[in-house]
Structure 1
Amino acid sequence: MKLAVRVTPRAGRDAIEGVVRGDDGRNWLSVKLCAAPTDGAANDALIRLLTKTLGVARRDVTLASGATSRLKRLDIQGEPARLAAALEIIVRDKA
């Protein structure tokens, strides 16, 4: 599964905020992280949050693009139906 994420670093807490529509019309999962965007700390925090939330192993989540950007793309390995269901629950709870 490919996942598009918009990260806000240096937030008050680590949290998935829901889905936002960008200026370009694409949807992104909005995530706030306490970590600063220094030496990959925010990227590591993002991957930790997603692995915990989706119930997948760390080795199953890789940063495909956006290492130094707020807009990131991640590749997540796992059963697509289960991952989609977990994301659906997260998004529905935030709506």
Structure 2
Amino acid sequence: MATWLHRTPTGVRLAIRLNPNAARNDLGPLERRADGSWHLKARVTTAPEGGRANAALMKLLAKTFRLPVSKISVASGATNRNKQIDIEGDPEALHTLFNNWIKDRFP
């Protein structure tokens, strides 16, 4: 199930499916794609215009995981709902942080 989260040399990469124009800002749960891979669902209230939904997603991730927004970037999928998000930092610590969050929130 961990295909949504990958270690990189500079941190971790998250597979996220973003739903803009949602009723609330929220993360989770994990969902399985048709190809068998997994992604983390994310919802933001912001419209997908001019990169505002991506910015809202990065702020949501930063707030949820108490990380600096400057360490979060869109690696791919800037204009697509399916995104790869890079988060800079210690790969092992970040991997543990995200895995523990999923286990605690969605047992």
* Fold match (TM-score > 0.5): yes
- Unaligned stretches of 5+ residues in structure 2: 1-11
| Partner residue in 2 for 1:13 | 24
| Partner residue in 1 for 2:46 | 35
| Partner residue in 2 for 1:94 | 106
CA distance in 1, matches of 2:63, 2:97: 11
CA distance in 2, matches of 1:14, 1:83: 22
Q: Does 1:2 align with 2:13?
A: yes
- Unaligned stretches of 5+ residues in structure 1: none
Q: 1:55 aligns with which of 42, 51, 66?
A: 66
Q: Deviations over 1:23-58 (max 9, x none)?
A: 111110111111111111100000001111222211
Q: Deviations over 1:33-84 (max 9, x none)?
A: 1111111110000000111122221111111110110000011111223322
Q: 1:73 aligns with which of 79, 84, 89?
A: 84
Asked if 2 retains the 8 angstrom alpha-carbon contact of 1:56 and 1:78, the reply is no
What secondary structure does 2:23 align onto?
coil
CA distance in 2, matches of 1:60, 1:6: 20
Which deviates further from its counterpart, 48-57 or 66-75? 48-57
Q: Cα offset for 1:85?
A: 2.6
Q: Does 1:83 align with 2:100?
A: no
- Share of identical aligned residues, percent? 35
